[in-house]
Amino acid sequence: MTKAVSQDALEVRVRRIHRRDLNRTWEFLKLVFRDVNRETVEYQRPRSKRRFMEVYTSEWIEQLLYEVDGEIVGYSECAYEATGDDNWVNPRWFEKRGMRPLFVEELAVHPNYQGRGVGSFMLDQLQHLARTRGCTHLVLEVAENNESALAWYRARTFYKLDAAIFLAQKVPGEPDLLPPRRIKRKLKPAEEGAATPATGPTPASPNTRGGARRGRTPTAKSAKKGS
């Protein structure tokens, strides 16, 4: 159950994450990103629990928890190196421009605590880490249609670097499933005899693509064979 949130001043404490916090933090992240993920093509994280657990063991990644009275109200994750198998960052792009980025991989505030300055405190913390580690920029990825987060970053002097834009083109095509088919009842052998005229082959109907099917009215070929 979520605690009632006091409207008074908040005392937010920041600390490094411990192994024992991982499950609780994972649940926290799922809650924060539930609505955000519904609206974006790319998962805005967290991607998978397995990956989240692996992050904990990475020496390049700093995971911080922000708490009010022992309850997690915020989480930040930042990396000093662009690491991970699915990483798309090209470090040379930054090198060429004399930038030493601190990659902000995650910034999440509990929905009940958003708009109360927790995110700003977290950003100050990340700026502080960047300075103490000799980084020159905070760099992050945000979905263009995560409008509230984007506006929040823009209001804090974040600017656009370069971006992958998701494009889509409609492929003209047919549906996978066939249209309804009217299927005639299959005649039993006794009915078949009655239905077949005694003399000569039946000419192929123009609608049956080369004549009647096997087991039904004999075609010219089968009639000839049987005679």
Ligand X SMILES: CC(C)(COP(=O)(O)OP(=O)(O)OC[C@H]1O[C@@H](n2cnc3c(N)ncnc32)[C@H](O)[C@@H]1OP(=O)(O)O)[C@@H](O)C(=O)NCCC(=O)NCCS
Among 37, 40, 58, 114, which residue interacts with ligand X (rule: CB under 6 A)?
114
Kindly write out the interface string for residues 42-61 of this chain, putting x where it contacts ligand X by CB under 6 A and - elsewhere.
--x-----------------
| Integer CA distances (angstroms), 167 to 41, 123, 161, 164, 170, in order | 11, 31, 18, 9, 10
Residue 21 CB, nearest approach to ligand X (Å): 18
Could you say whether residue 115 binds ligand X (CB under 6 A)? yes
| CB-nearer residue toward ligand X: 48 or 120 | 120
Could you say whether residue 109 binds ligand X (CB under 6 A)? yes
CA–CA distance, 20 with 17 (Å, rounded to integer): 8
Could you say whether residue 116 binds ligand X (CB under 6 A)? yes
Q: Segment 158-217, which members bind ligand X (CB under 6 A)?
A: none
| CB-nearer residue toward ligand X: 42 or 191 | 42
Among 55, 64, 79, 108, which residue interacts with ligand X (rule: CB under 6 A)?
108
| CB-nearer residue toward ligand X: 63 or 146 | 146
Q: Segment 124-153, which members bind ligand X (CB under 6 A)?
A: 140, 142, 146, 149, 152
Q: Could you list the residues that contact ligand X (CB under 6 A)?
A: 32, 36, 44, 107-109, 114-120, 140, 142, 146, 149, 152, 155
